[in-house]
Amino acid sequence: MEWTEDALILGTRKHGETSVILEVMTRERGRCLGLVRGGRSRRMQPTLQAGNRVTATWRARLEDHLGIFTIDPVALRAASLMETSLGLHIIQTVAGLLRLLPERDPHAALADAAEIILENTREPIVVAALMVRFELALLDDLGFGLDLSKCAATGTKQDLVYVSPKSGRAVSADAGEPYKAKMLVLPPFLKGEGTSLERSDIMNAFTLSGFFLNRHIFEPRALPPPLAREALLRDLERAIEEG
């Protein structure tokens, strides 16, 4: 068995004295693991950093084996990501979320979205909006997508300002008014409305996606909310405030 694909490096772990188990995300084959012989050498370590884009060739005798990776660099951006706390927490959060996907299960749109996020880490507002959409897309791919298209109570597509924490569906201002204290806020940009993003929009959006990630993903798997995500939100809030 053999295949070759461009891949995003998510991380490594030590294997023996000189090798590593490499974890990557690809468009066509999803999240994959493989052994890199000599991966702990000085020559290989700069290439095998999370956030780098590489061409990965995987070989194994049988499809269900761990397999061996041969890696060629394409875009070595890990060093620039790690120059700032924001960049570091972005790649840590993206990698952590992609690890929630089943191994070898293709999710091309999420692989593409991860690349776009990592190309925009210098623009806090842009990357914040991309990250929220990434989290919502992840929920959708895992079978827990939100329905933000119309009001769950009335069917109207107008004046949608809430999301029901029970159903994950949008709710209009009038229908949600009696229950607004229990509702989640639906920021306009998630409906394709508005021309600018405010700090409150971003924080409300992360509260929304975080609520459903916790309910459907982290809590059922007995996983704590990722520390990197919490640090990322603090970094984004600070960066947006500073302008």
**Residue 195: pLDDT above 70?**
no
Q: How far apart are CA 161 and CA 174, in angstroms?
A: 9
Q: How far apart are CA 238 and CA 243, in angstroms?
A: 9
Rounded to 5 degrees, what are φ and ψ at 22? -100, 135
Q: Which residues pair with 113 in a beta bridge?
A: none
What pLDDT digit, counting tens, does each position of 83-127 carry? 999 999 999 999 999 999 999 999 999 999 999 999 999 999 999
- Average pLDDT, integer, range 76-81: 95
**Residue 174: pLDDT above 90?**
yes
Q: How far apart are CA 163 and CA 144, in angstroms?
A: 14
Q: Where are the alpha helices (H) located in the chain, listed in sequence order?
A: 78-81, 85-98, 108-118, 124-141, 173-176, 199-213, 227-242
Q: What is the pLDDT of residue 19?
A: 97
What pLDDT digit, counting tens, does each position of 119-169 carry? 999 999 999 999 999 999 999 999 999 999 999 999 999 999 999 999 999
If pLDDT is split at 50, 70 and 90, which confidence band does 242 have?
confident
**Residue 11: pLDDT above 70?**
yes
What pLDDT digit, counting tens, does each position of 31-66 carry? 999 999 999 999 999 999 999 999 999 999 998 899
Write out the two tokens for 100: 């929630």
Write out the two tokens for 169: 């569906």
**How large is the C-alpha radius of gyration of the chain?**
20
Nearest to 90 by CA among 55, 130, 30: 130
Q: What is the pLDDT of residue 194?
A: 66
- Average pLDDT, integer, range 188-211: 89
Model pTM score: 0.95
Measured between alpha carbons, how far apart are the two ends of the chain, in Å?
Answer: 51
